[in-house]
Structure 1
Amino acid sequence: MRILVVEDDARTGEYLKKGLAESGYAVDWTRNGADGLHMALETSYDLVVLDVMLPGLSGWQVMEALRAKQDVPVLFLTARDQLQDRIQGLELGADDYLVKPFSFTELVLRIRTLLRRGVVREADQLRLADLHIDVLRRRVTRMNVAVPLTNKEFTLLHLLVRREGEVLSRTLIASQVWDMNFDSDTNVVDVAIKRLRAKIDRPFEPKLIHTVRGMGYVCEVRACAECAPAP
């Protein structure tokens, strides 16, 4: 797997090049936005790690020009940490956005996830019955009523709706939402589902989050006779 790093800070660039190489990737590094765009278009990379504040062309400009030509996965790695910056990066077509200072372990995990996923992009807007999820702005409504969720509740709901109709085990949910191995003595998933139902399902019909006994949970629209979730 070949990765292009576009990063103008010498210390960060050297760190990324060395660390990613030690993680098994072939790495090219450039400190200039225009050079980064040229290299990305002329060489077949599996992923691009892109800063925003660059000489030559900004990361925004590189991203916009790159998306007009190809679909290589792009991860923004930048000190620009405002919500609007994240939204702009994702709206321009980036696949992920990580803020500096960062954990190298987290960076590698995100890179592996993007490489497994390839260029398949998730929808920015998700709908199920009268439930609407604005993924970029992390906003949820039912029947046009705003539903405030915590970060974990949003991540859990996003997972359930994105995989509508699939029965998701507690082990899978725990690994995807909390990045943890599931402990059978821990009821964190069940508690989170209960809290999410109280906000998403209790005030509305039809019910969308259902228990599949002995297996896990599924998010889908069911016939009225099946609407009530199992306790």
Structure 2
Amino acid sequence: MTNILVVDDDKHTRKLICNFLGENGYVTAEAENGIVALQLLSRNIYNVAIVDIMMPKMNGYELTKEIREVYDLPVIMLTAKSQLQDKERGFAVGTDDYLIKPFELKELQFRIKALLRRTNQESEQIIKISSIVINKASYEVQVGDQTLLLPLKEFELLFVLASNQNRVLTREQLIQKIWGLDFEGNERTVDVHIKRLRERMRQLTEDVSFKTIRGVGYSLEVLSS
């Protein structure tokens, strides 16, 4: 399931993009400016952000720069500007692609697919943390000379937390990322899986710790490099 954040101060443009993407199997969220977008990003996990440049309160350049400092997701900038210096500024703050208004919605979809392919190819399938190697291709966890085969959800939980070392992820974010938006259980499920994962890993290594942020969520802290 691909979640896309659409940030544009023009309501008509947002609805047009979200309706089209929704019809093509994407899950979308809307933000009318950069401040609202950052609030959504702090609570949810998105695969792509589509960001308009000309917005009040926080423009697209400022928002993209903020995204790059905290989050790891591709950004497509939308703008009516076509001058080379505007594109240069956009890429300088970290955008991955650039689309000039007016544009065909199909072209936006093509660019989203291309970005997802590229980021999936470039994203690490193997995460190494001290003596721990987490292999998403084989779903194995190697700790020193021992190989651990975790239950699927525990592995995915470990992989997501390891991909966001020292960053607190809320229970809601973890459920969305691992169990999906249609999950009908409650946040207690995350607590149970964290407890099991913590116990398994504690028996094998002291290099990492699963930190509980009361009332918020969890983070994976690296204790030994």
TM-score using structure 1 length: 0.50
- Equivalent residue of 2:37, what SS? helix
For 1:155-207, what per-residue CA distance to the aligned partner results, in whole angstroms no more than 9, with x for missing partners?
xxxxxxxxxxxxxxxxxxxxxxxxxxxxxxxxxxxxxxxxxxxxxxxxxxxxx
- Equivalent residue of 1:28, what SS? strand
Q: CA deviation at 1:15?
A: 0.3
Q: Give the alignment of 1:52-201 within 5 angstroms.
A: 52-118=53-119, 120=122
The two structures, once aligned, show a CA RMSD in angstroms of: 1.5
- Structure 1: how far apart are the matches of 2:39 and 2:15? 20
Aligned sequence identity (%): 39
Larger CA Rg, structure 1 vs 2: 1
Read off the aligned partner of 1:54 and give its amino acid letter: M
Q: CA deviation at 1:117?
A: 1.1
For 1:110-169, what per-residue CA distance to the aligned partner results, in whole angstroms no more than 9, with x for missing partners?
000001111749xxxxxxxxxxxxxxxxxxxxxxxxxxxxxxxxxxxxxxxxxxxxxxxx
Read off the aligned partner of 1:14 and give its amino acid letter: K
Partner of 2:44: 43
- Structure 1: how far apart are the matches of 2:118 and 2:22? 21
Structure 1: which 5+ runs fail to align?
122-231
Partner of 1:13: 14
Q: Which of the pair has the greater relative contact order for Cα pairs under 8 Å at 6+ separation? A: 2
- Structure 2: how far apart are the matches of 1:40 and 1:79? 25
- Equivalent residue of 1:102, what SS? coil
Partner of 1:22: 23
For 1:62-102, what per-residue CA distance to the aligned partner results, in whole angstroms no more than 9, with x for missing partners?
01111111221100011122111111111111110000000
Runs of 4+ in 1 over 6 A off after TM superposition: none
Read off the aligned partner of 1:47 and give its amino acid letter: V
Read off the aligned partner of 1:16 and give its amino acid letter: I
Q: CA deviation at 1:27?
A: 0.4
- Structure 1: how far apart are the matches of 2:31 and 2:79? 15
- Structure 1: how far apart are the matches of 2:57 and 2:76? 19
- Structure 1: how far apart are the matches of 2:105 and 2:14? 13
Q: CA deviation at 1:44?
A: 0.7
Say yes or no: does 1:31 pair with 2:28: no
Q: CA deviation at 1:43?
A: 1.4
- Structure 1: how far apart are the matches of 2:108 and 2:65? 23
- Equivalent residue of 1:68, what SS? helix
- Structure 1: how far apart are the matches of 2:102 and 2:86? 16
- Structure 2: how far apart are the matches of 1:67 and 1:112? 20
- Equivalent residue of 1:57, what SS? coil
Read off the aligned partner of 2:38 and give its amino acid letter: L
- Equivalent residue of 2:70, what SS? coil
- Structure 2: how far apart are the matches of 1:41 and 1:97? 24
Task: Give the number of aligned pairs.
Answer: 121
- Structure 2: how far apart are the matches of 1:17 and 1:31? 13
Structure 2: which 5+ runs fail to align?
124-225
More strand by percentage: 2
